[in-house]
Structure 1
Amino acid sequence: MWEQRFRAPRVSLPDWARDAPDRALFVSNATGTYELYAWDRASGEQRQVTDRPNGTTDGVLSPDGEWIWWFSDKDGDEFGIWLRQPFGGGPDVPAAPGLDPSYPAGLAIARNGVAVVGRSTDEDGTTIHVVRDAAACSPPVEIYRHRESAGVGDLSHDGTLIAVEHTEHGDAMHSALRVVGLDGDTVAELDDTEGGSKELGLEVLGFAPVDGDTRLLVGHQRRGRWEPMIWDVASGAETPLAIDLPGDVNAEWYPDGSGLLIAHSFKARGELWRYDLASGGLTRIDSPPGSVSGATARPAGEVEYLWSSAALPPQVRSTAGGVVLDPPGPKAPESVPVEDVWVDGPGGAVHALVQRPAGASGPLPTVFEIHGGPTWHDSDSFAAGPAAWVDQGYAVVRVNYRGSTGYGREWTDALKHRVGLIELEDIAAVREWAVASGLADPERLILAGGSWGGYLTLLGLGTQPGVWALGLAAVPVADYVTAYHDEIEALKSMDRTLLGGTPEEVPERFAASSPLTYVDAVRAPVYISAGVNDPRCPIRQVENYVDRLAARGAVHEVYRYDAGHGSLVVEERIKQVAMEIAFAAAHLPGPGGGAGRQGDPAGEGGAQE
């Protein structure tokens, strides 16, 4: 049954063209690979836009709905160019001829044909280019360049102003804002990192959807959480908004500019509100308990949103009633709801989400499924991976450790310098609760995760070798120094911020936070999967770690697959989860484990060591 949760057709929240609202773009796995689809809502016709072996998810509609821009990389390496295709179909052509391949750093397209393309490379840092007539493929003109990470935030409604998020001050966790004209000349600056604190970030939420309107909706952290304000870039006036909701608050404009659609995230749940700019009134928009992972206000005033809960699969719903986009085919089986747990940790109360098989009582074999990011959080949303473990009789615990979003700025920013070790302290506190409460069998504890969660898995196996029976690490950071030198430039900036410098400047911090430092202490069997084209957690540093495991004869398996930072191919995702479940069954002590080593359950593929 668990495989069907991956195979069941899914769709993203459709993005719609601002001047042609019946034309939409969405992502679906209907063919078995996540690809882009065009949808003419007036006729109901849907058309697959991209068709690549490793999938495609990055696409943008032009405001007139005539063109689909999509990012073309090579096998998931995130390094490529923007192509464009007519909405009704036709050949793909380079969208910005003259720009060499790069990592993407934002894209904005105006209704007057102007496009702004952000790029990032190891050689140039971040550059931003203006294409004045995208339809005629006019030559791109560079208007911005800096070594530190930056990106395109938005274009004004009339296409004359560009909002840029940048970290020129060297703090990649907290951006400042600059608004420039099409020639790159500065129009206005907003920087909450000034004054030496470097602890307050800003983000672009969007220009007002009215010609000549110079108001920019901005996210800020001045009250210890993310919330919106309006900044008039012409006058410099800043208008705070009276949105008294706990937790983080995001916002976007209603299409007529009369109000804001508020997305509120608190304690791993999400909800929607409308904020009326004239009255200052705040009205809740009905949505079921769970998580809203995307929402948009349509021209008639209705709101469409992507909703799910841990128990119920995702749906694109509308406040006008019903499901907006319901893909054909079998539906995903439901799972079990989550239970909320709050545990006293060294940095404050730690929130964890717990799922257990229906009717089961502990102690149970338990998977600590650790989220990536680190600036992310687990929520009460549908996840096929954890649900697969529950189907196999495991309890699943997901921990929103320090560094997670949704619990205030101080919680998110707590990772400085003791990177990895701080998160593991919070995970340890929840682990102790899980054992003491009778939920988890202390002899059958699995530490697992992908990306940053994979990093914490390997670091935890080495720094806490006596408490974990097994480790499952997907696309992890394994050798922090080598990862730093091989990863994309934007992540280098983030690592310098987190650790206070480069590996040459603060070698002791990189050593203290690197799983490779502790690899000889690892006692639990460890399974690692890695994409050979991964630009975020590159393969060379994974190989360094695996070589050290092999040199001392440690029990381990490694699976390498031809993709980047994860796979967009459904059967590949199923294969990887099946291999993890089989590895646990072979090596976990006690009931259901210890039956001997098993080979690749899919029957082929991947090096195993």
Structure 2
Amino acid sequence: MTQNTDARPESAVPDWEKRFRAPRVSLPEWAEDAPDRSLYISNVTGTFELYAWDRATDEHRQATDRPNGTTDGTLTPDGEEIWWFSDTDGDEFGVWMRQPFKGGEDEVAVPGLEPSFPAGLAIGRDGTAVVGRSTDEDGTTIHLARPGKEPVEIYRHRESAGVGGLSHDGTLLVVEHTEHGDAMHSALRVVRPDDGSTVAELDDSEGGTKELGLTVLGFAPVAGDQRLLIAHQRRGRWEPVIWEPLTGTTTDLSIDLPGDVSADWYPDGEALLIAHSHQARSDLWRYEIATETLSRIETPPGSVSDATARPVPASHGSGTAGAGVEYLWSSAAEPPRVRSASGSVVLDPPGMQAPPSVPVEDAWVEGPGGTIHALVQKPAGEGPFPTVFDVHGGPTWHDSDTFAGQPAAWVDHGFAVVRVNYRGSTGYGREWTDALKHRVGLIELEDIAAVREWAVSSGLADPERLVLGGGSWGGYLTLLGLGTQPDAWALGLAAVPVADYVTAYHDEMEALKSMDRTLLGGSPEEVPERFEASSPITYVDRVRVPVYISAGVNDPRCPIRQVENYVRRLEERDIPHEVYRYDAGHGSLVVEERIKQLRLEIDFALRHLPGPKGQEGPRDRRQAPA
């Protein structure tokens, strides 16, 4: 079991480190037919691992213990087994393992399946498993595994796809696929698991000519009920609809809320738990299907990252909208808590509590493609401040009013932090997300530039001390921005970035190849000019400021070889730079490693940023050649 090795007394640990070291837990998943058996993720040992929780006895047990952590796991419907995905040092390539809920030896869950990237998993009540796999050689395959029998392939396609879920009785399987070639907008196919024969199809993409997508939310959790809850984009946002694949009928839902709407079933199948996201905040509602009524579930201001509705014992009653509802909540100022809609804390890990941070402020800035929403956190005092533009990954993601250790750490060190929900981000309608096509990277940077101009003109940001940073897609935009906007930034901090887009494409996992072909309109051989225009290495000779890069040597998403190509070009031009390579994949699940990486970034910025006007800059600042 990995333990926290920091020997300092708690009073000597700075707040920014405490936010990482403080024990955290995910929202517990519960077994469908044994709701007192739960599975959650925690970093209580210093590494994120899976934990079994018997709520009837309040016994907690660490289920996995690996040097680089484990977060992918689920329970069988009867709660008797834990299934977890075993990869090698974060490379995301491996097999499913299983162990008894009460403890015991791990074993390969589906003998006969070779290692792969995961593409979904569904486990039936009779022990049947449907396993999605992705490999460079085969594309996506889906296999049916009956107890005691060899797994049988029931689906195969070169484009990305995944297991969407099994019906309660196990007779229907939904597959979420992109066979039409648009990896950003999935279609759905319901099949018979026994042979993969098609029962029904639903495709809003119209062969890729109409950019509308569908996603699976889940089959009804009631015996004999074949209804399937899905989400669509037909009205310019994500919203749920009930589809009955055996009859082909759909039931629209009267949910009059702005922004994106997702949903999950209540255990009786008569109501839906609505997760509503709007302008970087989120809240919860209950929707009665029969009466089409919507009732608010009270949650604090901020963001609900995950929510579930557990069965309510008959003795407790179920007369309120929030009965049985549990959720993971936080805000930028307040650390996460697993709460109940009744007001209690469901699961509170032992140990120190994470110190609070400062709240976010909203900024709305007119940009070249419409109004851009940015979230701002400021230290005490008057600006202009040295400012970090902390760019989110994805790109189909968005920053929200949630607790995050990294921006809070920069605020503690006297920096303002600006997070931009650029075009391509989710949460602002389908057109905003789908604007990210063909001029990939350049579009997002236009929006970041507009917010940067606002930050300087408003007096928030010191124009001589602007830092561009981010991880994954945010790391990619950092390196691209340093080359395409060389006069705008004082330095760059890029974590697990795309640095050489062509090499990254050839080395990355197959599902991301599909995404890149969608974003850029083809492969590097088909649209070389687009890959060249969107690749940071194309502009590396224009970089003029210090660059810090961190990369996982086992990363299947932003592979190490293309990072090394970019670093060699920096070396040839004698650009001040530092590179940190670590033995993991696309990020780390080890707390001390996360702290080390952020400490290195902060130290790099403090050494290389100029001081305020009228003062000398920090030590070791080197001037990069023009």
TM-score range relative to shorter protein? over 0.9
Q: Distance in 2 between matches of 1:38 and 1:198?
A: 44
- Equivalent runs, 1:410-429 vs 2, <5 Å: 410-429=431-450
- Equivalent runs, 1:296-307 vs 2, <5 Å: 296-300=308-312, 301-307=323-329
Counterpart check, 1:200 vs 2:223: no
1:374 aligned residue (367, 391, 395) = 395
Which letter does structure 2 place at the counterpart of 1:596? R
| 1:179 match | 190
Which letter does structure 2 place at the counterpart of 1:85? Q
The offset of 1:303, in angstroms, is 0.4
| Greater mean deviation of Cα atoms: 208-217 or 254-263 | 208-217
Q: Distance in 2 between matches of 1:366 and 1:90?
A: 51
Q: Distance in 2 between matches of 1:271 and 1:392?
A: 32
Q: Distance in 2 between matches of 1:524 and 1:211?
A: 62
Counterpart check, 1:315 vs 2:337: yes
Q: Distance in 1 between matches of 2:374 and 2:180?
A: 35
| 1:43 match | 57
Counterpart check, 1:432 vs 2:446: no
2:132 aligned residue (102, 105, 118) = 118
Q: Distance in 1 between matches of 2:165 and 2:192?
A: 12
Equivalent residues of 1:165, 1:177 under 8 A apart:
yes
| 1:601 match | none
Counterpart check, 1:345 vs 2:357: no
2:618 aligned residue (591, 595, 608) = 595
Shift in CA distance, 597/84, structure 1 to aligned 2, threshold 3 Å: farther
Structure 1 counterpart SS, 2:435: helix
C-alpha deviations, 1:512-545, integer Å up to 9, x for none?
Answer: 0000000000001000000000000000000000
Q: Distance in 1 between matches of 2:477 and 2:617?
A: 25
Equivalent residues of 1:586, 1:593 under 8 A apart:
no
C-alpha deviations, 1:236-289, integer Å up to 9, x for none?
Answer: 001111111111100010011010000000000000000001100000100000
Q: Distance in 1 between matches of 2:301 and 2:204?
A: 35
The offset of 1:593, in angstroms, is 8.1
The offset of 1:197, in angstroms, is 2.2
Root-mean-square deviation (Å): 1.0
Q: Taking structure 2 as the reference length, what is the TM-score of the superposition?
A: 0.94
Which letter does structure 2 place at the counterpart of 1:251? A
Equivalent residues of 1:367, 1:445 under 8 A apart:
yes
| 1:395 match | 416
Q: Distance in 2 between matches of 1:548 and 1:188?
A: 52
Q: Distance in 2 between matches of 1:321 and 1:551?
A: 59
The offset of 1:165, in angstroms, is 0.2
- Equivalent runs, 1:402-413 vs 2, <5 Å: 402-413=423-434
1:160 aligned residue (148, 157, 171) = 171
| 1:260 match | 272
C-alpha deviations, 1:533-560, integer Å up to 9, x for none?
Answer: 0000000000000000001100100000
1:59 aligned residue (73, 78, 81) = 73
The offset of 1:132, in angstroms, is 2.0
Equivalent residues of 1:131, 1:139 under 8 A apart:
yes
Q: Distance in 1 between matches of 2:338 and 2:620?
A: 42
Q: Distance in 2 between matches of 1:586 and 1:351?
A: 31
Shift in CA distance, 90/505, structure 1 to aligned 2, threshold 3 Å: same
The offset of 1:209, in angstroms, is 1.0
| 1:86 match | 100
1:286 aligned residue (270, 295, 298) = 298
1:13 aligned residue (17, 20, 27) = 27
Equivalent residues of 2:610, 2:618 under 8 A apart:
no
C-alpha deviations, 1:187-210, integer Å up to 9, x for none?
Answer: 000000116523000001000112
C-alpha deviations, 1:310-362, integer Å up to 9, x for none?
Answer: 0000000001221000000000000000000000000000000000013x211
Structure 1 counterpart SS, 2:479: helix
Q: Distance in 2 between matches of 1:337 and 1:566?
A: 26
Equivalent residues of 2:180, 2:207 under 8 A apart:
no
Shift in CA distance, 593/585, structure 1 to aligned 2, threshold 3 Å: farther
Structure 2 counterpart SS, 1:4: helix
1:143 aligned residue (131, 150, 154) = 154
- Equivalent runs, 1:555-566 vs 2, <5 Å: 555-566=576-587
Q: Distance in 2 between matches of 1:33 and 1:380?
A: 25
| 1:169 match | 180
Q: Distance in 2 between matches of 1:123 and 1:214?
A: 35
Which letter does structure 2 place at the counterpart of 1:537? C
The offset of 1:597, in angstroms, is 3.8
Equivalent residues of 1:503, 1:510 under 8 A apart:
yes
Q: Distance in 2 between matches of 1:422 and 1:282?
A: 38
- Equivalent runs, 1:437-516 vs 2, <5 Å: 437-516=458-537
The offset of 1:103, in angstroms, is 0.1
| 1:213 match | 225
Structure 2 counterpart SS, 1:415: coil
| Greater mean deviation of Cα atoms: 585-594 or 31-40 | 585-594
Q: Distance in 2 between matches of 1:420 and 1:593?
A: 35
Equivalent residues of 2:284, 2:299 under 8 A apart:
yes
1:355 aligned residue (349, 356, 377) = 377
Q: Taking structure 1 as the reference length, what is the TM-score of the superposition?
A: 0.97
The offset of 1:596, in angstroms, is 2.6
| 1:523 match | 544
Structure 2 counterpart SS, 1:239: strand
| 1:605 match | none
Query: Tell me, which stretches of 5 or more residues in structure 1 are unaligned?
Result: 599-609
Which letter does structure 2 place at the counterpart of 1:175? S
The offset of 1:309, in angstroms, is 0.1
Q: Distance in 2 between matches of 1:569 and 1:42?
A: 31
* Percent identical residues: 78
| 2:4 match | none
Q: Distance in 1 between matches of 2:399 and 2:48?
A: 22
Q: Distance in 2 between matches of 1:131 and 1:292?
A: 35
2:145 aligned residue (125, 131, 134) = 131
Structure 2 counterpart SS, 1:579: helix
C-alpha deviations, 1:404-438, integer Å up to 9, x for none?
Answer: 00000000000110000000000000000000000
| 1:107 match | 121
Q: Which runs of 4+ in 1 moved over 4 A?
A: none
Structure 1 counterpart SS, 2:513: helix
| 1:295 match | 307
Equivalent residues of 1:587, 1:593 under 8 A apart:
no
Equivalent residues of 1:304, 1:316 under 8 A apart:
yes
Q: Distance in 1 between matches of 2:144 and 2:274?
A: 31
Query: Tell me, which stretches of 5 or more residues in structure 2 are unaligned?
Result: 1-14, 313-322, 622-626
